[in-house]
């Protein structure tokens, strides 16, 4: 079976198990989504969702963040890890948006990549979940791990993995497939002690066959 057909079978199985996926990061607008994405670096979505209600209650719009106190924001997002750098990125992002984009996140992938704290993974999340525009594939630690285990790629670099997946996956499933793999990585295909004995993808899993 070729990889494109295999990925489609995996997609159908994952969709049947998890249902239609949406980003777990809670937000009311695209600007909040972008800030939540910055917070999510090296941090769980669950932890981010614990932090953002207080953060977005204190800072209600981009203008508030642009004039925020570094120290005050740090105290609120401390548990997200790397809080000093994340605070710097959030405030710098807000100031750029207020100055150059009327306080709005630009609807442009290349423009997003130039913003503080936004890399390819973050830009893909914002474009797909915020603007419903598919420019690429979100490759986080779960997608990276599962793509290797399921046999989609032999690369370890996220950019190369994304390029491989873009060749294999039909474009219409780029966003939902990435989210489904993230869900599956959290529930079954963990980095340590994967739950292979109860996983429903084992018949076509390269990792399971080598165990």
Q: What is the pTM of this model?
A: 0.92
- What pLDDT is stored for residue 204 in this prediction? 87
Per-residue pLDDT tens over the stretch 19-44? 999 999 999 999 999 999 999 999 99
From the candidates 140, 187, 190, 209, which is the catalytic residue? 140
C-alpha closest to that of 151 among 163, 159, 161: 161
- What pLDDT is stored for residue 146 in this prediction? 96
Per-residue pLDDT tens over the stretch 189-198? 999 999 999 9
- Reported confidence tier of residue 166, pLDDT bands at 50, 70, 90: very high
Q: Hey, is 152 helix, strand or coil?
A: coil
- What pLDDT is stored for residue 11 in this prediction? 96
In order of 40, 61, 75, 81, 92, the CA distances from 70 in angstroms are 18, 16, 9, 15, 10
In order of 131, 179, 192, 201, the CA distances from 195 in angstroms are 35, 19, 9, 11
Share of the chain above pLDDT 90, in %: 93
Q: What is the mean pLDDT of residues 70-94?
A: 98
Indicate whether 205 pLDDT > 70.
Answer: yes
Instruction: State the architecture of 30-131 in CATH terms.
Output: Orthogonal Bundle (1.10)
Indicate whether 207 pLDDT > 90.
Answer: no
Q: 154: buried, middle or exposed (CB in 10 Å: 19+, 13-18, 0-12)?
A: exposed
The answer to whether residues 91 and 83 touch, using CB atoms and an 8 Å cutoff, is: no
Q: Active-site residue 140, yes or no?
A: yes
Q: Active-site residue 121, yes or no?
A: yes
Instruction: Name, in order, each residue with C-beta under 8 angstroms of 173's C-beta and a sequence gap of 6 or more.
Output: 7, 8, 11
Topology given in CATH for the domain delimited by 3-21+137-210: Endonuclease Iii, domain 2 (1.10.1670)
From the candidates 121, 156, 160, 210, which is the catalytic residue? 121
Per domain, the residue ranges of the chain are: 3-21+137-210, 30-131
pLDDT averaged over the chain?
A: 95
- Reported confidence tier of residue 211, pLDDT bands at 50, 70, 90: low
Distance CA 111, CA 118 (A): 10
């Amino acid at each position: 079976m070729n990889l494109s057909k295999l990925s489609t079978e995996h997609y159908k199985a994952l969709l049947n198990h998890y249902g239609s996926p949406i980003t777990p990061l809670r937000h009311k607008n695209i600007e909040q989504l972008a800030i939540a994405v910055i917070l999510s670096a090296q941090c769980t979505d669950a932890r981010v969702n614990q932090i953002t209600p207080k953060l977005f209650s204190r800072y209600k719009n981009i203008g508030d963040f642009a004039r925020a106190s570094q120290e005050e924001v740090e105290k609120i997002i401390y548990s997200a890890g790397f809080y000093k750098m994340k605070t710097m990125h959030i405030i710098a992002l807000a100031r750029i948006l207020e100055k150059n984009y009327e306080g709005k996140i630009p609807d442009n992938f290349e423009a997003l990549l130039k913003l503080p704290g936004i890399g390819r993974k973050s830009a893909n999340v914002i474009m797909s979940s915020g603007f419903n525009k598919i420019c690429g594939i979100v490759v986080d630690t779960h997608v990276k791990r599962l793509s290797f285990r399921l046999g989609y790629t032999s690369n370890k670099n996220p950019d190369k993995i994304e390029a491989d997946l873009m060749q294999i996956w039909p474009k219409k499933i780029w966003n939902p497939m990435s989210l489904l793999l993230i869900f599956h990585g959290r529930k079954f295909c963990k980095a340590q002690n994967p739950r292979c004995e109860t996983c429903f993808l084992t018949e076509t899993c390269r990792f399971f066959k080598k165990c």
